Structure 1
Amino acid sequence: MIGRKVASSMVATNYVFVGLLLLVATGFATAPLAIVALVAPRKRSLTKADTYECGVRTHGETWVRFRIQYYIYAIMFVVFDVETVFLYPWAVAYGSLGPFALVEMAVFLALLFAGLAYAWAKGALRWV
């Protein structure tokens, strides 16, 4: 019975630690936003609202429309770049993972390949 009380108090201590850590993390994230909201000057002017691009004044229309294709292409790149980030640690630790890890990675790669095939069939990878 005493062992259970010690274990339960240890679990409660761990939850308290995690809760305090979350509070501190939230405080670190919100404190700068609150300070800036209170201290920052609020003088608006035409000069501050003017479009500024690399030190050169813009001529003509400053809002240029880009094709959505460029964004889709960039998102596809990010997806497969993140996939590489997941593959590398798996390859490094493969010897200690066991035989089921190969099946898990095969399923992961099959899903990625299905996504690539879908994007290719929809024409998302066609440039222009």
Structure 2
Amino acid sequence: MLPVIYDEMVVRRGRPLTELAAVLATNPAKIYGLYPRKGVLQVGSDADIVVVDPARPTVIRAAGQHTRATYSLYEGRTVAATPTRTFVRGRAVLADGELVQEPGYGTFLPRRPEDLGGLPPVSHPA
């Protein structure tokens, strides 16, 4: 999703990177009651960071996605930038397009109903 939104929002429409960060990180964290633990880079918050090469266009292919889905809504779309690195809690999970972290590294973040801004709570499978 990041390459498509970066391409449309920053490259084609000239919106600032700070607005992109708000759309993809800060606003969802606030909606889901996870801010400021998520959605901001500051002391005490989780540091999940994606490094993007804005000079490296790429063509989106379902076969190149790290998901169980066998298709992509954006199949064949050329975007202006490529994510090159992803760090979760300070550890690299993606390097040059390849997953470098074993499955199960993620952490479930519980939410209280009063933190959800009207959204239903999500249950965690046992």
TM-score range, shorter chain: under 0.3
Larger Rg: 1
Q: Which has the higher strand share?
A: 2
Q: Which has the higher helix share?
A: 1
TM-score, structure 2 as length reference: 0.19
